[in-house]
Amino acid sequence: MSRWTDGLAFGAAGVLCFSGTAPATRVAAGVFGADVLTYGRIVIAAVLGLATLLVTGRLGWPGRELVPSLLVTGVGLAVGFPLFLALAVERVPAYHGAVVIGLAPAATAVLSALRTGERPPARFWLACAVGFAAVVAFALVQGGGGPSAADGWLVASILSVAVGYVEGGRVARRLGGTRTLCWAMILLAPAAAVLLAVAASTRTFGAIPARAWVGFGYAGVASMFVGSVLWYLGLAAGGTARVGQLNLAQPFLAIAWSALLLGERITWSVPVTAAVVLGCMGVCLNAPRSRAPASYPLR
């Protein structure tokens, strides 16, 4: 009971951190740009990851054979996902992004099934199809009858995070979740630092409002690093299957933050679509499988 309670607390704290990603990205990307925000949060997470490994005495080199998988994990989680999300929410409200990326757990499960050769039952695929159709209908309504470029960026972000989670899950079975995350960020940090310096030197920022700095810091510290560490601790303490279900609340939390912090007007289609997606994802994650894959955090 104590481990389950700890797992629930850590997992809930992790989801709370993740839920602010879309609003924070919308605030920061509009000022710094999608590229500066993406590279900056990698550098922040790498510094925190290095400090964590040093303090815990777990800095040992993970092994050359794991470097390709760690790089794929880092690119998916820390480059593709935040960059594409930032490009999207520069064009659409944060709540729009929150609803669409609610499909990420299903995309991760589908990719995991293909990667591991699992054969989910028919209800799994049916739930994925219904959830996908709901999001497509939502995007068409929001776009005035047609998909927008932002929806394309959101689809790219979903695919990126799914690749990162599936590959990261394979490495985490050997290194552990937190160590995998830390090393993925550390390996990307040198290139990210150079790209950050180049990107920042090509533009003039002028006076940067305080909330943009808050959004930038949140994306790098809370969303990219702290949330992931808390999430992995929750999965380890309370069990992947049970604690993993907490992630289904993330779209609703993100919608609430978008309304409260950004003043975005929430129409009826937003909570309705989010509820449909949540229900479909619940079916997907609870569908029996021949071999249960790891559950991964949605940042």
90 versus 110: the higher-pLDDT residue is 90
pLDDT at 105: 75
**How does pLDDT run across 144-162, given as a tens digit for each residue?**
666 788 889 999 999 998 8
Residue 74 lies in a domain: yes
Report the half-sphere exposure of 233 (CA within 13 A, side-chain side).
Answer: 14
Query: CA–CA separation, 97 vs 251, rounded Å?
Result: 9
Residue 19 to residue 176: CA distance in whole angstroms: 24
- What average pLDDT does the segment 86-103 reach? 87
Query: Quick check: is 98 in a domain?
Result: yes
296 part of a folded domain: no
Of 130-139, 180-189, 204-213, the range with the lowest mean pLDDT is 130-139
Distances (CA, A) of 226 to 66, 84, 179, 233: 23, 21, 13, 11
108-112, 240-244, 252-256, 264-268: which range is least confident on average?
Answer: 240-244
Mean pLDDT for 31-60 is 94
- Identity at 123, one-letter amino acid code: R
**Percentage, residues of the chain above pLDDT 70:** 89
18 within domain boundaries: yes
pLDDT at position 289? 55
The confidence score (pLDDT) of residue 296 equals 43
52 in a structural domain: yes
Using DSSP, state whether 165 is helix, strand or coil. helix
In a domain, 293, yes or no: no
- pTM, to two decimals: 0.85
How many domains does the structure of the chain reveal?
1
pLDDT of residue 283: 79
Stretch 171-193: mean pLDDT: 92
User: Quick check: is 299 in a domain?
Assistant: no
212-236 residue pLDDT tens = 999 999 999 999 999 888 887 887 7
State the pLDDT at residue 20: 93
Which whole number is the average pLDDT over 58-81?
Answer: 93
Give the mean pLDDT of the chain: 85
H helix or E strand, kind and range, residue 298: none
pLDDT value, residue 118? 66
Q: Please report whether residue 137 resides in a domain.
A: yes
Instruction: Show the domain range for 84.
Output: 2-286
